Amino acid sequence: MPTVVFCDLVGSTELFEKLGDATASHLVTQLNQALGRAITQFEGRVVKTLGDGIFAVFPQENQAVDACCQIQRELHERPLMLFADEKLAVSSGTFRSLHIQLQIGMEAGEVVEINGDCYGDAVNSAARLADLAGAKQILTSQRVHDALPQERRSEFSSLGPMFLRGKEETTTVYRINWQKREAIDPDATMLGVSFADALRTQTLQLSFRGKTVPLAQSGSAIKSLQVGRAATCDLEVSDPRVSRTHASVQVRGNQFVLTDSSSYGTWVYAGGQSEPVVLRRTDCVLVGEGEISLGCERGAPDAAVLKFGVH
């Protein structure tokens, strides 16, 4: 089935501020050309470039997965090898200090092509998944997961059901674990691989007005934290719109689940999405980075807005 991919450069604004418009534009152009070559290698087609990203379509799900995993590995293992002016990049301290990272969203489904552009629900979903993804992440759907052979599904980690902007029903979101096993431990036995996987845990950080509270998936006695107006909460937020115990985050398996228990609700802005997921005695999974507004939308006067990041 046709599979849509959006690759977006993380932190492009900072890149342009650090390098200047001319140099940053040249670097982004070279990056897009390198992405185009990788996409073509796996029989994909670049529909169009999007300034700091690329919109592509592949004939089949497995081709899209292979291409995106290869792209992330290249950027991780050889971050400057993608650029034609490699000598300049290596000799420049500014270039060496850059972190070229992509966030990728992928969805399979029918695609309508008009005058070289592509449209359809799969296109919209892939764009939303790219917005939701964190740096160096590939997020996709149940449809892509189920289309792959059974042996490949072990590369996917379920993040649970999520509301994507513009959709009334939840989408089960998966993260594709693109890192090579040998990159963890080249001499690992089956036991060693399992042990290495256990050590590769994620940590959630919640921040509000200078205070940051971490929550790890494992290795800690704390498996949940509370946010609210009460002094007994792990992260105290003094605001009349915030309930005494407004919300909590729990570790469930390999997920961080935010649950609203307030009077006025909780607004979650994930990734680059401008439209929030609104929780009213409901929950959602936190992935990537974003903001959580307690008791009102984040645009309200003096809104109590927390920042979150999963690392």
Mean pLDDT of 128-150: 90
Mean pLDDT of 138-149: 94
Question: What's the pLDDT tens digit per position in 20-48?
Answer: 888 888 888 888 888 999 999 999 999 99
Give the pLDDT confidence of 48-80 residue by residue, as tens digits.
998 788 999 999 999 999 999 999 988 887 765
Tell me the CA distances in angstroms from 200 to 140, 151, 195, one per residue in order.
21, 21, 9
Could you give the CA distance from residue 66 to residue 213 in angstroms, rounded to a whole number? Answer: 37
pLDDT at 167: 74
Say if residue 94's pLDDT is above 70.
Answer: no
pTM of the model: 0.64
For position 198, what pLDDT does the model report?
Answer: 41
Please tell me the total number of residues recorded for the chain in this structure.
311
pLDDT in tens, 173-186: 899 999 864 443 43
Q: Provide the residue type at 87 as one letter.
A: K
Could you tell me the pLDDT band of residue 218, with boundaries at 50, 70 and 90? low
CA gap 179, 163 in Å, rounded: 27
The predicted structure's pLDDT at residue 221: 52
What's the whole-number mean pLDDT along residues 231-249?
Answer: 95
- Which of 162, 206, 174 minimizes the C-alpha distance to 310? 206
Residue 262 has pLDDT above 70, yes or no: yes
Q: What's the Cα-to-Cα distance from 171 to each of 36, 56, 159, 164, 179, rounded to whole Å?
A: 28, 21, 10, 7, 24
Above 70 in pLDDT, residue 117?
Answer: yes
Average pLDDT over every residue of 118-128: 93
Nearest to 98 by CA among 10, 6, 7: 10
pLDDT of residue 190: 32
Structural domains of the chain, ranges and CATH numbers in brackets: 3-184 (3.30.70.1230), 203-310 (2.60.200.20)
Check residue 219 and give its pLDDT: 57
* 224 vs 169, higher pLDDT: 224
Residues 6+ apart with CB under 8 A from 256: 202, 204, 215, 217, 249, 250, 285, 286, 287, 310
Residue whose pair of structure tokens reads 């009077």 in the numeric block: 263
- The answer to whether 54 and 6 have CB atoms below 8 angstroms apart is yes
Structure tokens at 150: 């059974």
pLDDT tops 90 at residue 247: yes
* Mean pLDDT calculated for residue range 231-254: 91
The encoded tokens of residue 105 equal 């969203």
- What share of the chain has pLDDT > 90, as a percent? 45
CA atoms within 13 A on the CB side of 268: 27
- Identify the pLDDT of residue 309: 92
Q: Who wins on pLDDT, 251 or 196?
A: 251
